[in-house]
Every structure is written in structure tokens, then in C-alpha cells.
Amino acid sequence: MLYHLLYPLSEDISVFNVFRYITFRSIYALLTALIISIWLGPRFISWLKNIKCGQYVQDDGPEHKGKQGTPTMGGLLIAFSMLVSILLWGDLTNIYLWLTIFVFLGFFLVGFFDDYLKVVKKNNKGLRATGKLLGQSVIALGAVSVLLTLPGYSTELLIPFFKGIRPDLYLFYIPFAVLVMVGASNGVNLTDGLDGLAIGPFIVSAACLSVFVYVSGHSQIATYLQVPYIPNIGEVTVFCGAMVGAGLGFLWFNAYPAQIFMGDTGSISLGGTLGFIAVLCKQELLLVIVGGLFVIEALSVILQVGYFKMSGGKRIFRMAPLHHHFELKGIPESKIIIRFWILSILFALAALSTLKLR
């Protein structure tokens, strides 16, 4: 809105010319979302407490009973701060921006419905895994189908570190891209089991992907770095900025000891959007490095469950996802969280290095 209101004035007042720049608007989108979430946070937490929207903590794992009743569904705060900021700073005529908003809202609804069943309807299991997967897949399928009709998109796959190899997956690209989005959504969801454990690496991954989106939308830089140039996707950097800002604002309250959890409303929507942004800038495979921490957490579950079933009850880890393993080994929660954050920063740096290492 600010972009549409103020940029046209630049003909008379040259200072408004800055609204043309995606970098400028992305930085202010970040700051706006951050300020909104930090300002609203305490009121939102009190409101959640008043309506008794508290987390039910299961007693089958590491000792988390002290966290019983912590307000949850913080994803609502993240979504509100993000969307207000995007509407203020984004170019609302940009199709990629709207597509990203719709994907976010689609995943948001799946997570919200799950939390609603758990928290409001007191059904501790929430939405069934198949129901959740179906919802996530339908949204991802819709998004990928629309994307493939837009200019600059193909079913080719970029291989990190190998600029010359771009295999065409043809129709197989569609299930592959759906898998990337659904996998990212569930990876973030599985990681969200300690204070700040999901949102910290999420912020790092989103910031890292914002660089790829910006580069892909900039014809000169994209040509120089030999990444696919996709006209107009640069605007999604504003979305990323708002997402990072809202994430930082949420972390303010989710930092150990957490005053609020994001719930599935947050983890499913943020993860799915991260996957979509990777698909959007044709960095589907690179997401494995960008979000390496989420991949490790998800792999620990796959290995644990697989081995558990095959061996008739034996385990590789004391408990999956991996953060539970370290908790059960007696490592303090805050130490595990910060070490996982460090890992996520290293993964993001490795991903960024692929811009030059080819």
C-alpha cells in the first residue's frame, strides 16, 4: 500500500524514489513485522491465556511438564505481523507475491485446523497424519500447477555446485516439487519441540532463501552468477523480509524459557512456505542444504521409525526427533537449541557458497 501510495509521488518529491527498490522495502518489511509482533506479543499472549489456548504436553518423552499450558498457536501472531507488513510494503500487482501469500495461507489453514482440534476441541491427537498430508499436498499441487504456467518456469532441475547440469524431470517435476513443499512443512513441524528450536533456524533459512529470490529476480546479478533469471520474482524478497521480521519478533517471546509456542499454525505454514520459495527460485535441491537442520531432524525420525519397525522395537536414538535424543542424554535445553542454531547458520553459509562455487 505504501508502495502504491508513495512511489507515484516520486515524480514531484524525489525522496520517494526509494520505494522503487526491493531491498529498501524488504528491510522495512522486516522492521515493520518485527515491531508489530513485539508490540502485539504481550497482548496476544494474555489473550491466549484468557481464552485458555494452552499447550497440552504429552508425558511420554523428556520432562516438559513445566511447559504445560504454555499459550500456543503463536503462528497467528506471526501471520498477522507478516501479512500487515507485506500489504504495506509489497507491490500488490505482483503475481508471485500473491501466490506466495496464498500458499502461506493454505498451509496456515491446515495447521490452524490441527491446532483448533487439539486446543479448542481438546482432541489431543489433532488432525490425523493422513488428513494433514492430504491438505498440505493439495495446496502444494495447486501452487506448483499455477507456477508452471508462469513465464520463466520449466520442469528442469538445478543441481547445486554443477551449473551445467539441468536434467528435465518433465511430469515427474510436479510430484517432486510437491514433495519439497510438504517435506519442508513437516521438517519444520518435527523440529518444533524445544524453545526457539524451529524459529531460529527458520529465520536463518528464510534469510538465506531471500538472497536467492533477490538474485533470481535481478537480470544482471542472475546472469553474472549464472542462476535462472525469473522476471518479477524479486518482489518475493519483501515477503521474505516480513517473514524474517515476524520470526524474530516471535523468537523474542519463544526464546527459552518460552512464553508462547507457534503451534502447527506456525510450523506447518512457515515450513510449507519455505519449501514453496525454494521451488519459486528453482533451488529445490539446495533447500536440503539451506534447511539442513530440518532435514537432519526429519531423517532422524525416518531412521528411528524404520529401524524400530524392522528390528521389532529397537532404537537408533534414545528418542526421535534428534533433539529429544540429546535431551535424554542430559544436555540442557538451551545448549541444544543454541548448538542447533549454529548448525543452521553453517548450513545457510554452505548454501550461499553455491552462488560462487560451481
Q: Rule CB under 6 A: which residues touch ligand 57M?
A: 55, 57-58, 60-61, 64, 67, 72, 189-190, 192-195, 254, 258, 261-264, 267, 301, 304-305, 308, 315, 319-321, 324
Determine the distance from the C-alpha atom of residue 59 to the mean position of all C-alpha atoms in its chain, rounded to a whole number: 28
Question: Nearest distance from residue 304's CB to ligand 57M, in Å?
Answer: 5
Of all residues in this chain, which one has the CB nearest to ligand 57M in the complex? 61
Q: Nearest 5°: phi and psi at 55? A: -75, 135
Question: Nearest distance from residue 335's CB to ligand 57M, in Å?
Answer: 14
Q: Please state whether 56 falls in left (phi above 0), alpha (psi between -120 and 50) or beta.
A: beta
User: Any bridge partners for residue 71, and if so which?
Assistant: 54
Q: How many angstroms separate the CA atoms of 131 and 278, rounded?
A: 24
> HSE (CB half, 13 Å, CA atoms) of 272?
33
Give 32 or 185: the residue with its C-beta nearer to ligand 57M. 185
Residue with grid cell 516439487, as numbered in its chain: 177
Question: Nearest distance from residue 89's CB to ligand 57M, in Å?
Answer: 27
Give 63 or 168: the residue with its C-beta nearer to ligand 57M. 63
Give 198 or 233: the residue with its C-beta nearer to ligand 57M. 198
Reported residue count of the chain is: 358
Dihedral angle, C-alpha 154, 157, 209, 286, nearest 10 °: 170
Question: Nearest distance from residue 279's CB to ligand 57M, in Å?
Answer: 22
Give 192 or 235: the residue with its C-beta nearer to ligand 57M. 192
Give 91 or 297: the residue with its C-beta nearer to ligand 57M. 297
User: Any bridge partners for residue 162, and if so which?
Assistant: 159
Residue 264 makes CB contacts below 8 A (sequence gap 6+) with: 75, 110, 111, 112, 114, 115, 118, 126, 189
Q: First-to-last CA distance in the chain?
A: 40
Question: Nearest distance from residue 310's CB to ligand 57M, in Å?
Answer: 12
Question: Nearest distance from residue 72's CB to ligand 57M, in Å?
Answer: 4
Closest CA to 196 of 339, 41, 24, 32: 339
Give 229 or 308: the residue with its C-beta nearer to ligand 57M. 308
Give 144 or 262: the residue with its C-beta nearer to ligand 57M. 262
Question: Nearest distance from residue 74's CB to ligand 57M, in Å?
Answer: 7
Alpha helices, DSSP H, located in 90-193? 95-115, 129-147, 173-191
